[in-house]
Chain A
Amino acid sequence: FAEFDDAANLLAANPDATTISIDEPSDIPKTKHGRLQQPGREEDDELLGTDDSDKTELLAGQKKSAPFWTFEYYQTFFDVDTYQVLDRIKGSVFPVPGKNFVRLYIRSNPDLYGPFWICATLVFAIAVSGNLSNFLIHLGKPTYHYVPEFRKVSIAATTIYAYAWLVPLALWGFLMWRNSKVMNIVSYSFMEIVCVYGYSLFIYIPTAILWIIPQRVVRWVLVVFSLCLSGSVLVMTFWPAVRDDNRRIALATVATIVLLHALLAVGCLAYFFDAPELDFPAPIIPVHNGTIITKVQ
């Protein structure tokens, strides 16, 4: 595998180099990665402004050439290297004003690796942090008996995966519908929307871990902060797609996107993390003879 190492070194040294891989017939030449992934080129944004959709459609069609029942088709969604995934994560956490996440980082190479594993990590981060935080909050109380609350993992998983897949589906359907009425300059494929949503959830992972701190002010500051960051990524991505539409519809769309994102954060905070500092309602201890005794603190 010496040639792989050489190629990897060369590519790492000069990411703009034209590389051609001839291993698979369904593999497209990697020139487009080298050429298009250049954050900071202002003229690129302008150039791609007018024919972005055309180019996106063309390259998307070029890419997914394998039929959907073959394994190679799904491999095209995992055609990312480590540095690309890290770049995309960085792009979702530090939104650059005026730069579009999809255009900058995804560039017709949407991947499913990021969305899937970021969601998986988020599910476990929320479940574990929630459990830890509850443990720390109730630590001193004599009536408290620690439970791992494993059920909450499945609830977290359902919620987060539903959000990461159904909301993009709805949004994509809505944008397609509007596209048929108003000729939009920018349009995104379903995979790109899933990608943006998946990567935008990344900021919630450190937020969930920091939610262990049992202070209400800290938690709400974290919610607002992370919402601003990931919400701005989403807004900057989807505003160009709706701005040519009716003003009210455009604003309503963007507002809904942000609202759903906020709802996810607040909902997770409320459900998985017990409120600190409040007089916690006394735990109900079932007793053998059927009567229920509540111990008053």
Chain B
Amino acid sequence: GRAAPPLRADRLGVAQFAELADMSLSGDITVEGEITVPVGAPSPDEDFSTLDEPVRETIMRDLKAVGKKFVHVMYPKKSSALLRDWDLWGPLVLCVSLALMLQGGSADSKEDGGPQFAEVFVIIWFGAVVITLNSKLLGGTISFFQSLCVLGYCVLPLTVAMLVCRLVLLAGSGTVSFIVRLLVVLAMFAWSTLASTAFLADSQPPNRKALVVYPIFLFYFVISWMILTFTPQ
């Protein structure tokens, strides 16, 4: 079938070159024709090679994409930008910064302290994977990485809450500071849950929406709990 024509063409080409080789030539032979090298599915926005652009441009493009998604999370509207071009840089940055900020907690005994870095990391990523699997098993139409992307990005309000909590704790750790922290964490928890629900709810079958939203609620509740119970040494 398909293998035959190239062979024939090769033989033909070899024969032609052999003929050409016999001829003595003193000048260059101009050969014209078209060479098309298939590069896979041509993407409409990459008709230029990104290999030659300066590194700064490459990094800035990715940073801008991440920044745009952050803005989408802070002002959640039903836009598909977060879903269409998913990336996991944002969630990684958020997860690492949240886990780092949760360090330095009370370390009287290693047994009873707050969550370690690895624990926070595992909870966030494992929790996001489990929620994604749950929504896919219930019949959701969203893809695996899109869901991870949304859940990861919606940790942003809680990271902001952690930052605020640490600043408030610098000022003092009495009852007033606790109430302030409680209100901030509650507000950010509601914001995270609502933002992720706004993005994810549409891809679920209508009579199972609550079944999908509840684990998301639990996930952000656990993260909020870790933030709220953070006590410095």
Residues in A lying within 8 Å of B, measured CB to CB? 1, 4-5, 8, 11-12, 71, 74-75, 77-78, 80-83, 85, 113, 117, 120-121, 124, 128, 131, 145-151, 285-286
Answer yes or no: B225 CB below 8 A from chain A CBs: yes
How far does the alpha carbon of A82 sit from the alpha carbon of B119 in the complex, in Å?
32
Name 29 A/B residue pairs within 8 A (Cβ), A-sorted.
A4-B206, A5-B206, A8-B207, A11-B207, A74-B137, A77-B137, A78-B134, A78-B137, A80-B211, A81-B207, A81-B208, A81-B211, A82-B210, A113-B138, A113-B211, A117-B134, A121-B218, A145-B108, A147-B112, A147-B113, A147-B231, A148-B105, A148-B112, A148-B114, A148-B226, A148-B229, A150-B114, A151-B111, A286-B109
Nearest residue in A to B107 (C-beta to C-beta)? A147
Answer yes or no: B76 CB below 8 A from chain A CBs: no
A82 close to B208 (CB less than 8 A): yes
Binary interface profile of B, 200-213, with partner A (CB < 8 Å = 1, else 0)? Answer: 00000111111100
A82-B207, A82-B210 known; 6 new pairs, CB 8 Å cut-off, are: A1-B206, A75-B137, A147-B108, A148-B113, A148-B229, A286-B108
Answer yes or no: B70 CB below 8 A from chain A CBs: no
A146 close to B106 (CB less than 8 A): yes
Answer yes or no: B145 CB below 8 A from chain A CBs: no
Most A CB within 10 A of own CB, among B206, B210, B221: B206
How far does the alpha carbon of A248 sit from the alpha carbon of B218 in the complex, in Å?
44
Cβ 8 A contact of A120, one of B108, B218, B231: B218
Q: A1-B206, A124-B218 are in contact. Are A150 and B231 (CB under 8 A)?
A: no
How far does the alpha carbon of A256 sit from the alpha carbon of B221 in the complex, in Å?
36
CB distance from A118 to the nearest CB of B (A): 11
CB distance from B214 to the nearest CB of A (A): 7
B222 close to A146 (CB less than 8 A): no
Nearest residue in B to A75 (C-beta to C-beta)? B137
A interface majority secondary structure: helix
Kindly list chain B residues whose C-beta atoms are within 8 Å of the C-beta of A285: 108
Kindly list chain A residues whose C-beta atoms are within 8 Å of the C-beta of B218: 117, 120-121, 124
How far does the alpha carbon of A177 sit from the alpha carbon of B112 in the complex, in Å?
44
Kindly list chain A residues whose C-beta atoms are within 8 Å of the C-beta of B207: 8, 11-12, 81-83
How far does the alpha carbon of A148 sit from the alpha carbon of B221 in the complex, in Å?
15
Kindly list chain B residues whose C-beta atoms are within 8 Å of the C-beta of A75: 137, 139
Most A CB within 10 A of own CB, among B113, B119, B225: B225
Per the 8 Å Cβ criterion, residues 165-217 of B in contact with A are 205-211, 214-215
CB distance from A42 to the nearest CB of B (A): 29
Q: A8-B206, A120-B218, A151-B111 are in contact. Are A131 and B139 (CB under 8 A)?
A: no
CB distance from B193 to the nearest CB of A (A): 15
Per the 8 Å Cβ criterion, residues 97-135 of B in contact with A are 105-106, 108-109, 111-115, 119, 134
Binary interface profile of B, 131-155, with partner A (CB < 8 Å = 1, else 0)? Answer: 0001011110000000000000000
How far does the alpha carbon of A77 sit from the alpha carbon of B211 in the complex, in Å?
14
Q: A82-B208, A82-B210 are in contact. Are A117 and B112 (CB under 8 A)?
A: no
Kindly list chain A residues whose C-beta atoms are within 8 Å of the C-beta of B113: 147-148, 150
Kindly list chain A residues whose C-beta atoms are within 8 Å of the C-beta of B208: 80-82
A145 close to B137 (CB less than 8 A): no
B215 close to A124 (CB less than 8 A): no
How far does the alpha carbon of A241 sit from the alpha carbon of B226 in the complex, in Å?
44
CB distance from B185 to the nearest CB of A (A): 13
How far does the alpha carbon of A215 sit from the alpha carbon of B221 in the complex, in Å?
27
Cβ 8 A contact of B138, one of A1, A78, A128: A78
How far does the alpha carbon of A4 sit from the alpha carbon of B141 in the complex, in Å?
14
How far does the alpha carbon of A2 sit from the alpha carbon of B221 in the complex, in Å?
33
B231 close to A146 (CB less than 8 A): yes
Binary interface profile of B, 219-233, with partner A (CB < 8 Å = 1, else 0)? Answer: 001100110011100
Nearest residue in B to A149 (C-beta to C-beta)? B112
CB distance from A147 to the nearest CB of B (A): 4
Nearest residue in A to B230 (C-beta to C-beta)? A148
B229 close to A131 (CB less than 8 A): yes
How far does the alpha carbon of A12 sit from the alpha carbon of B208 in the complex, in Å?
13
How far does the alpha carbon of A85 sit from the alpha carbon of B109 in the complex, in Å?
42
Binary interface profile of B, 28-57, with partner A (CB < 8 Å = 1, else 0)? Answer: 000000000000000000000000000000
CB distance from A81 to the nearest CB of B (A): 4
How far does the alpha carbon of A85 sit from the alpha carbon of B215 in the complex, in Å?
14
Nearest residue in B to A1 (C-beta to C-beta)? B206
How far does the alpha carbon of A146 sit from the alpha carbon of B114 in the complex, in Å?
10
A147 close to B214 (CB less than 8 A): no
